Amino acid sequence: MQHKSTLKKSLRSALRHKQLADKLLDNIVEIQSNHNVIMNKLDADTGAALDTDYAVDFVSEYDYDQLGSAQHKANLRKSLINALSHKRLANEIIDSIEELRYIYEQLVAKLNAEAGTLNDTDYADTFATIAIDADVKGHDAQHKSSFRKSLRSALSHKRLADEIIDSIAGLQGNLNDALAVLDTGTINGLMAAFVVSPINPE
C-alpha cells in the first residue's frame, strides 16, 4: 500500500536518475534470465552428454564508469555513490553486477570447451564469487548498519531495497552452489534447483 509504483519507477524516483535506475534493474534481470537458461539447460544434460552450444544473451552495456547523460555528467558509478551516500555499498552493487556478467560469459565458454563431456573439476575454483552478506553489520567505520538497512534507508523503500540486494546475493549464492555440483560431474536433474526467481521491474 505504501509504494504502488513499479520497481523501475520507484528506483528512478529514489535515485533521481532514470538512466542509472533502468540500467541497474535491466542488468539484474538480464543476469537472472541467463542464469536460469544455463541452469535449466545443464539440468537436461549429463556429464557424458554435455551440449556444446551454451550461450548468454546480454543486451545492455555494463560499463558503469562511462559518463552519464547530458543531464547527469558524472559517470554512473559516481551517480550511484552520490544517490546512496554510501560508497562501499554502491561499489559492491556495481562490482557484483559486472563480475556476474563476466563470470557467465566465461562459464559458457568453458562448458562449450568441454566438447561434450564434463571432465573439468575446477569450476568452483575458477568462477566462485564472494556473495554479498546483506545483513552483516558494520561494513566500515562510517556505515555501521548492514547493507540491507543502508539500502532501505537510502531508497526509502524497503521492498525495492530488498529486491535489489536479495537478487544479487541470490544469484551469487546459487551460482556458487551450481559450480560445486558441476565439479562432481553429475548434473542431470540436479541443476534446476539453482534457478532463481526473477524480479519484475515493471
Residue 1 banded pLDDT, cuts 50, 70, 90: very low
C-alpha cell at 19: 538512466
Beta-bridge partner residues of 75: 67
Provide the residue ranges of all domains of the chain, joining segments of one domain with +.
Answer: 19-194
CA distance 106 to 122: 13
pTM comes to 0.92
Mean of the per-residue pLDDT values for the chain?
A: 92
pLDDT tens digit sequence for 136-187? 876 554 557 899 999 999 999 999 999 999 999 999 999 999 999 999 999 9
Residue 67: what pLDDT? 67
Q: What share of the chain is helix, strand, coil (3-state, %, to 5)?
A: 60, 0, 40
pLDDT tens digit sequence for 59-85? 988 889 876 554 556 899 999 999 999
